[in-house]
Amino acid sequence: MPPLENVLIVNAIIFAIGVMGVLTRRNAVLILMSLELMLNAVSLNMVAFAVYGRVGFGNFTGIIFALFIIVIAAAEVALALGIVVRTFRNRATANVDEINLLKW
């Protein structure tokens, strides 16, 4: 197995790609995909720590957490995609720059 540090570096890179995607993309669907990338990086971290047995977690806590994150990510995508679809129906756009009513 590769050393834990390498796995963490890969995860950090994936996470950073996700962050950049969320910040720079304008299409709501692509932002959601970047968000998923961030979530996956986090779950990978959890699994990595569980597998390498570092940190005071019990052996399965990390894996269980990863499973929970997957479930929550699925629920979140269902919700968020629903919102995007409704927005698209109403405004004929999925560009987040034009969806700017969430303010005072």
Partner 1 sequence: MFWLEHAYILPAIPAAAFVAMFLFGRFLPRQGDWFSIFAIGSVFVLFFFVLESHLDSINAGLGGIGNAGFNWLEFGDFHLRIGFTVDSITVVMLGVVSLVSLLVHVYSVSYMRHHGRPEPRYWWYFTVLSLFSASMLALVLADNLLLLYIAWEGVGVCSFLLIGFYYERPSAVEAAKKAFVTTRLGDVGLLIGIILFWRATGTFQISEIIEAAQAGRTNDLAPVMGDAYLTLATLLLFLGAMGKSAQVPFHVWLPDAMEGPTPVSALIHAATMVVAGVYLVARMLPVFDVAPGALELVLAVGLITSLLAGAIAITQTDIKKVLAYSTISQLGFMFVALGAGAVGIAMFHLMTHAFFKAALFLGSGSVIHMTDEQEMGKLGGLWWRMPITTITFTLSAAALAGIAPLSGFFSKDEIFSVVEATQDEAILILLGISAFLSALYMARLVILTFFGPPKDLAVIKRTKEAGPLITIPLVILTLLTLFVGWFALDQIGDAFGFPGGINNYIYFPEPEFFHFNSGLAAATGLVSLLGILTAWWFWWGANARRATAVREFQPRMAAVLENKFYFDEAYQWAIDNLVLRFASMVAWFDRHIVNDTGINGPGDSLRYASFWTKFHVTGRIPDYALLMIVGIASAGALGFLLR
Provide the mask over 4-43, with x wherever binding to partner 1 is found by CB under 8 A and - wherever it is not: ---------------x--xxx-x-x--x------------
What is the amino acid identity at position 48? Answer: A
Tell me the DSSP string of 19-65: HHHHHH--BHHHHHHHHHHHHHHHHHHHHHHHHHT-SS--TTHHHHH
User: Would you say 99 and 93 are in contact if contact means Cβ atoms under 8 Å apart?
Assistant: yes
Rule CB under 8 A: is residue 103 a binding residue for partner 1? yes
Provide the mask over 38-77, with x wherever binding to partner 1 is found by CB under 8 A and - wherever it is not: ---------------------xx--x--------------
Q: How far is the CB of 22 from partner 1 (least distance, A)?
A: 5
- Decide whether 2 or 58 has the Cβ nearer to partner 1: 58
Give the distance from CA 13 to its chain's centroid: 13
Interface with partner 1: number of residues (CB under 8 A): 18
Return phi, psi of residue 53, to 5°. Answer: 70, 20
Binding residues for partner 1, rule: CB under 8 A, are 19, 22-24, 26, 28, 31, 59-60, 63, 96-97, 99-104
